[in-house]
Structure formats: C-alpha cells, structure tokens
C-alpha cells in the first residue's frame, strides 16, 4: 500500500488542489448525493446474468446499496444475485483477492460454454514499472511499513 500511496497522493494533490475544489466536491460528494437509481426501463434491457459482489466494509457503498440494486434488477426481470465479502473495504479486490477472485472466476465459468484456456503462469501489472519506481517490491516486504508514516495535512479554503 505505501507504493499505491506514493503514486496516488501526488496525483490527488494535483487533481484536487484548492482551485479545483469544486471538481473534488463533485467527485467525492455530489457523485454520491445527487445520483439517481438505474431506471427499470434501462435495467429491463439487460440480456445477460448479473453477479453483484459487495464489500461488506465499504463505507462509500454500504451493503444496502447493493441490496437495493439487486432488488431493482430482479424487479426488472434480470437474472441476478449478490455476494457480500464481509469486512472487505472499498478496494476489496486489492485487500481480499482470495475471497473475491474465486467468486468472479466461478461465476464466469458457470456462464461459459466454450473451452477456457488455462491461466497464465505469471501476470504483470501494467503499473509495475511505476510501482517499482516508488519502492514497491513484488515479494511484499514493503508491507512492513507503518501507515503512520503517511500523514498529509492540507488546508482547503472554500466558500461552500
């Protein structure tokens, strides 16, 4: 995670600097507060099954959001189901891959009629070079760091 912080914090400081506070507010507050639910008309157009995987510890999207979406999908006649990965945070695919990856794999395999090639022996992230440049080590030794090392204080002046 320290390497992700090293890459993402400078980007955030650029993208959401004080003169772009309205953009920041839109992306982090209005996006959640002002959105409308998916219409039944649009959901009825779905022609494929849907698997919802919800991270139980996600504070941005509580489980009840996924339950409401599941109900709307079912009301629209879609084939849908929901799995909740307890205690997984918003980026559960990063923190809980051993729980989430099998759910995705098994779901895809249950809906695939064609032969599936074997998995690759090794997969390289398209972000590997950038993460290596920030000190990430593939064996995970950087995880010994303390998150207490990363404290950012920034004062936003706003008229909102």
- Our measurement of the distance from residue 101's CA atom to the centroid of its chain's CA atoms, rounded to an integer in Å, reads 13
Q: Is the dihedral of CA 55, 59, 61, 67 positive or negative?
A: positive
Residue 144 CA to residue 141 CA, distance in Å, equals 6
pLDDT for the residue 43? 97
The residues spanned by each domain of the chain are: 2-14+34-149
pLDDT at 149: 56
Supply the pTM of this predicted model.
0.65
| Neighbour-count burial for 113-135, b at 16+ CB within 10 Å, e otherwise | eeeeeeeeeeeeeeeeeebeeee
Rounded to the nearest 5°, which phi and psi values hold at 83?
-120, 135
What would the pLDDT profile of 106-148 be if each residue is shown by its tens digit? 999 999 999 988 888 888 889 889 888 888 888 765 555 555 5
CB 72 within 8 A of CB 61: no
Confidence of residue 102 (pLDDT cuts 50, 70, 90): very high
Most confident of 13-17, 94-98, 152-156: 94-98
What digits encode the pLDDT tens for the residues 22-73?
Answer: 988 898 889 888 888 889 999 999 999 999 999 999 998 899 999 999 999 9
Predicted local distance difference test score (pLDDT) of residue 138: 80
| pLDDT on residue 2 | 77
């Amino acid at each position: 995670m320290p390497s992700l912080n090293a890459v993402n914090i400078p980007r955030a400081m650029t993208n959401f600097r004080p003169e772009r506070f309205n953009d920041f507010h839109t992306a982090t507050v209005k996006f959640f507060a002002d959105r409308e639910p998916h219409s039944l008309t649009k959901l009825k157009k779905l022609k494929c099954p849907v698997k919802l995987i919800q991270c139980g510890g996600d504070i941005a999207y509580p489980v009840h959001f996924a339950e409401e979406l599941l109900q709307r999908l079912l009301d629209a006649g879609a084939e849908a189901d929901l799995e909740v990965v307890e205690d997984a945070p918003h980026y559960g695919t990063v923190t809980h891959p051993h729980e989430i990856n099998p759910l995705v794999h098994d779901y895809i395999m249950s809906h695939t009629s064609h032969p599936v090639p074997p998995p690759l022996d090794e997969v390289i992230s398209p972000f590997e070079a950038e993460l290596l440049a920030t000190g990430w080590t593939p064996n995970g030794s950087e995880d010994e760091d303390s998150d207490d090392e990363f404290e950012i204080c920034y004062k936003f002046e706003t008229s909102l």
